[in-house]
Structure 1
Amino acid sequence: MPARRRSRHVGEGITRPTLGVAGKLSLAVLGLFGLLPVYWLVATAFMQREDVFSKDRPFFPFNPTLDNFGAFFEDTALLSALGNSVIVSAGTAAVSVLVAGLMAYSLSKFRYRGRNLFMVMFLVGQLVPGVLLLVSLYLMFSAAGLLYTYTAVVLAFTTFTLPLTVFLLKGIIDGLPDEIIEAAKVDGLSNLAILFRIIFPLITPGLVTAGMFAFMRGWSDLLFALTLAGPDKQTLPVGMTTAFIHEGSGDWPALMAASVITSLPLALIFIALQRYFVSGLAAGAVKG
């Protein structure tokens, strides 16, 4: 009896494409090309300083060392910057998810005058380079007495993460049937209760995705942290730049080792929450 052919659903050719030998080979080459900078970073982190700056630098660390990693944990300023990054990034993620959830729910399920204009202005504002707003934010936070505080850095990062997180969550909430909200109102729930007890649990993948994006922004930003955070509130990008890069010289092996260490939290978070991240992006990209 001939084998039964497996039926293909609509769109499966996009989500699960069938590649030939040439396609697989091309993807493998592109993948290796994309991973080359990562390998170069890791290899440099394990190399001796004299090997890194030699004319015939080896492609592999034949004499690996862990001294470069030890320099990170021996520097109290870097450890303090690590703690600051955790506080700022977690705060940015929490505030971004909360505010973006409220805004997305309002834009998706409420109808009021100026709603569409607000959405357009929100997107247009995202087109303005962040560096152009740096002076304005500096003066605003200085006048409010928030300069050189965690609050200033978190609010600045949240400002630039909201457009993407709002429209991501709005796309997901658009797909939720209005009957759910109407039934909750019949049961006597307020709008806030509906949001926190019904909407948020239903869009958990989207919230995780938005939180990851906001966390990465807070973890990797240099310019705003350098300008708005005081000497005792500096985050890792600023601390690493100050510790390892000097005029006319730079401790590149130690810097690469610090980069590996500071990249691990993001990598572990992404691996742990990957299924939420993928499903959240898919849900936000397709309405209904």
Structure 2
Amino acid sequence: MSTITPVPAPVAAAATTPESPRPTRRRRTRIRWGMWTALAVVVLFGFAPVYWLLVTSLTPSDRVFAFPPAIFPTQVTFEHYATVFGNEQIFGYLRNSVIVSVVTAVLSVVVSMYMGYAFSKYRFAGRKSLMYFVLSSQMFPQALLLVTLYLVFAQFGLLNTYLALILSFTTFTLPLCVWMLKGFFDALPDDLIEAARIDGAGPWRIFHSVVFPLAAPGLVAAGLFAFVRGWNDFIFALTLAGPDRQTLPPGLVNTFISEASTSWPALMAASLVVSVPVCVAFILLQRFLVGGITAGAVKG
């Protein structure tokens, strides 16, 4: 009698998940070189124009248009910087820029901090509609309003004055400053305000004694944005201000560019000189600027 030998069941192979191999040394080297290459490209893109301004400002006038252009100047001269510092009219434009930019920054910060705080911590009818109305003003090109502002200022006799430039720049910087500070105030906990209110402080005392000191980074960021807006503007300063009230951008153009000729080396030297105040301000206020911009990014 035949017997049937049972066939053993197949043993299931254990599913093994191969571990992801660590990056080899060659791969890490390639990644590191790729990162350094990308950084070098970004640095070159950002600093190449500045370097070319410096080279042109140090090149003699008869060598500026030499071909092929020299990446490293063979002849260096400082006569163009002497021309800039010897022109008293440029210092007048510099004074106008400082006055207009500083007043614009202070006025923008003062108005936007109260507006941003009201939008952030108070609830009233039409709040959201008003917030979006303020933001919608950024949708229109600023040059589109130039003719209207010119007619309004001419009607009130404000042409060729500092006030015309300050009001124009403040109008354009307010929307972004308000939203920037609103995001910063949103990040401040309401418990601080409630604690101050329980202690008997009024709304004005709460804002100036509790909220205002904590809002310093946001205020610096908004003020720096408004300052740069007033410092760099060209078309409004050229149109609304006369020769005695013009700021640096149109003043430099009128000084070194004419129908007959253009003094490019002197213009490059003047551009580098007038860029120094803004660069110094960014370097000194960098930590406040970064903190003010990113403070309202995450609420909590």
* TM-score when normalising by structure 1: 0.90
Aligned to 2:94: 82
Aligned to 1:34: 46
Instruction: Report the 3-state secondary structure (helix = DSSP H, G, I; strand = E; otherwise coil) of the residue aligned with 1:55.
Output: coil
Aligned length, in residue pairs: 270
Change beyond 3 A, Cα 1:229–1:188: farther
Equivalent positions of 1:176-195 (< 5 A) are 176-195=188-207
CA distance in 1, matches of 2:58, 2:208: 47
- Deviation of the 1:193 alpha carbon: 2.8
- Asked if 2 retains the 8 angstrom alpha-carbon contact of 1:89 and 1:214, the reply is yes
Aligned to 1:271: 283
Q: Does 1:94 align with 2:95?
A: no
Q: Does 1:255 align with 2:274?
A: no
Aligned to 1:6: none
Q: Does 1:61 align with 2:73?
A: yes
Aligned to 1:172: 184
Which letter does structure 1 place at the counterpart of 2:269?
A
Aligned to 1:217: 229
Instruction: Report the 3-state secondary structure (helix = DSSP H, G, I; strand = E; otherwise coil) of the residue aligned with 2:49.
Output: helix
Extract unaligned runs of 5+ from structure 1.
1-18
Aligned to 1:234: 246
Change beyond 3 A, Cα 1:111–1:138: same
Q: Does 1:132 align with 2:144?
A: yes
Change beyond 3 A, Cα 1:196–1:142: farther
Instruction: Report the 3-state secondary structure (helix = DSSP H, G, I; strand = E; otherwise coil) of the residue aligned with 1:249.
Output: coil
Give % identity.
Answer: 50
Aligned to 2:33: 21
- Asked if 2 retains the 8 angstrom alpha-carbon contact of 1:208 and 1:277, the reply is yes
- Asked if 2 retains the 8 angstrom alpha-carbon contact of 1:45 and 1:68, the reply is yes
Instruction: Report the 3-state secondary structure (helix = DSSP H, G, I; strand = E; otherwise coil) of the residue aligned with 2:98.
Output: helix
Aligned to 2:25: none
CA distance in 2, matches of 1:88, 1:174: 30
- Asked if 2 retains the 8 angstrom alpha-carbon contact of 1:244 and 1:251, the reply is yes
Which letter does structure 2 place at the counterpart of 1:108?
S
- Asked if 2 retains the 8 angstrom alpha-carbon contact of 1:51 and 1:58, the reply is no
CA distance in 1, matches of 2:72, 2:166: 40
- Deviation of the 1:248 alpha carbon: 4.2
Instruction: Report the 3-state secondary structure (helix = DSSP H, G, I; strand = E; otherwise coil) of the residue aligned with 1:20.
Output: helix
Extract unaligned runs of 5+ from structure 2.
1-30
CA distance in 2, matches of 1:72, 1:136: 35
User: Relative to structure 2, which stretch is displaced further, 74-83 or 28-37?
Assistant: 28-37
Q: Deviations over 1:65-115 (max 9, x none)?
A: 111111111112111000000000101110111111011001001111111
Q: Deviations over 1:247-268 (max 9, x none)?
A: 1421000000000000000111
Which letter does structure 2 place at the counterpart of 1:228?
L
- Deviation of the 1:32 alpha carbon: 1.3
Q: Deviations over 1:122-174 (max 9, x none)?
A: 11110100011111111222223322211111111011111111111100100
Change beyond 3 A, Cα 1:192–1:61: farther
Aligned to 2:298: 286
Which letter does structure 1 place at the counterpart of 2:171?
T
Q: Does 1:119 align with 2:131?
A: yes
- Asked if 2 retains the 8 angstrom alpha-carbon contact of 1:49 and 1:253, the reply is yes
Which letter does structure 1 place at the counterpart of 2:297?
A
Which letter does structure 1 place at the counterpart of 2:242?
G
Change beyond 3 A, Cα 1:199–1:144: farther
Aligned to 2:170: 158
CA distance in 2, matches of 1:28, 1:47: 26
Q: Deviations over 1:194-236 (max 9, x none)?
A: 2222212101111111111111011110011111112211100
CA distance in 2, matches of 1:200, 1:189: 14
Aligned to 1:204: 216
- Asked if 2 retains the 8 angstrom alpha-carbon contact of 1:168 and 1:285, the reply is no
